[in-house]
Amino acid sequence: MPRLVQVLLAAGATLIGLTSAQCNLTPEASIATADGVEFKLLRTGLQRPRHLVVDTEGNLLITEAGSKGVRRVVLDDGKDLDVCIDSDDALISNANLNHGIALTADGKTILVSTPSEVYAYDYDASKGSVGSRRTVITGMSATSTHSTRTLTIPLAGNPNLLLVAGGSDGNLDVETVDKDVVRSQVRVFKIDELLAADAPLEYGEAEVLGWGLRNSVGWAEDPSTGHIWSVENSVDNLYRGDVDVHNTNPGEELNFHGLPNDTSSAQYGANYGYPGCFSIYDTSNIKGYPGGAEVGKQFAGTPQGETDLGFTDEECQEKQAPRITFGSHLAPLDIKFLDGSAAYIAFHGSWNRNPGDGYRLSKVDFADGEPVSDSDDPKAEVPLMWNTDNTKCPSGCFRPAGLAFDKTGRLFLTSDSTGELYVLTGV
């Protein structure tokens, strides 16, 4: 056999071997799934992967919060779980990008966020190339505690709108009792105005869709209705008077925001309670509640060592209550819909409760644009993928951070703690 042919065959065998090895990865943690749900580990070694989107060519664009930027992952043509990564390259190098990413309806503009700004890049999905950076939004408070700025485009109902959400500065951010403080809220921008403007728009000048949201990191549109839903990370170390209730209260929240362009709705501009009001999950340690404690009702409380803002339970009952309340400290970081049948939620997991909880992918079943469960149901969450041993968490287990569906219904999931990318079917 000629020497050149031998070399080429050897090189080809090496490439096949590498591809095969990369397509048969073993998760860092021991993982279990619900009946019918299957998964495959596609990638390891990512630097704190967070939110992600699927472009018009079916490629994945993933933010890496570990001082990287945005990575473009090109998949092969394999169906279902037979898929493998064809190529994998840095698309945008910017150490300040830490979480948020969105793609316009035509797939030609990427929007990404830092703690204080939103940038736009022209994007060619087929070539995997971007244009120069443009700053389109400024004036967001560069908080040190909750620094993510989630970007959401309601592609089904309002594709010209961009929702930009940011959290509090600290566990209890007392200044956010004032709506004009541009934290713990979500604001609405028109994309055509953003991209056509000669100068960046100020975050504080946009319409407020919702406020009183401590750290609502996950946002999504139900494509069957156009309605917006979010998931809230509530406070740590909460006391009710002199009683420590923090281990099982307050609950995390699934909040309803209505249509993002319906300024006449009860949800548009509504206050969801923070920093003085929180949601009951464990009714047993919420004593003296007017009419009796119920799951999902808002109550007054103050985190240990923080300023008592003087809210009462009666005042809290007037705030916008969650549609579903989850267990305490589960830390939901993303929510996505495939259709109108369920909301899929990435629970990053706790640090402020014993035993630890979360660290899983779950769903909430929907019908006719609403969760099937009543608002006082403590068991609306249906786990789909979880760690078999939570005692190894949070440092030694997978922790879901971002979710995205492709056109075939496959669900892609990032785990920032382990630097992994998964694909799931049967959800």
> In 3D, which of 121, 185, 111, 123 has the Cα closest to residue 152?
111
Give me the residues paired with residue 149 across strands: 166
User: Can you give the pLDDT at residue 22?
Assistant: 64
Residue 9 lies in a domain: no
Measure the CA dihedral 240/245/246/252, to 10°: -90
How far apart are alpha carbons 294 and 291 in whole angstroms?
Answer: 9
Rg (CA), the chain: 22
User: Can you give the pLDDT at residue 67?
Assistant: 82
Residue 391 lies in a domain: yes
Retrieve residue 45's tokens: 């070694």
The answer to whether the Cα torsion of 417, 72, 110, 161 is positive or negative is negative
Count the neighbouring beta carbons within 10 Å of the beta carbon of residue 21: 9
Q: How many domains does the chain have?
A: 1
User: Can you give the pLDDT at residue 141?
Assistant: 84
Residue 131 lies in a domain: yes
- List, for residues 140-190, the tens digit of each pLDDT value: 987 778 999 999 999 999 999 999 999 999 999 999 999 999 999 999 999
Exposure b/e, 296-325, CB count within 10 A at least 16 = b? bbbbbbbbeebeeeebebeebbebbbbbbb
User: Can you give the pLDDT at residue 280?
Assistant: 99
Higher local confidence (pLDDT), 351 or 189: 189
User: What CATH number did the domain enclosing 296 receive?
Assistant: 2.120.10.30
| pTM: predicted TM-score of the whole model, two decimal places | 0.94
Residue 408 lies in a domain: yes
Residue 92 lies in a domain: yes
Examine the pLDDT at 340 and tell me if it is beyond 80.
yes
Residue 3 lies in a domain: no
- List, for residues 72-88, the tens digit of each pLDDT value: 999 999 999 999 999 99
Residue 29 lies in a domain: no
Give the mean pLDDT of the chain. 94
- List, for residues 259-304, the tens digit of each pLDDT value: 999 999 999 999 999 999 999 999 999 999 999 999 999 999 999 9
User: Can you give the pLDDT at residue 23?
Assistant: 81
Domain that holds residue 233: 43-425
Residue 186 lies in a domain: yes
- List, for residues 2-39, the tens digit of each pLDDT value: 444 343 344 443 343 344 446 889 999 999 999 999 99
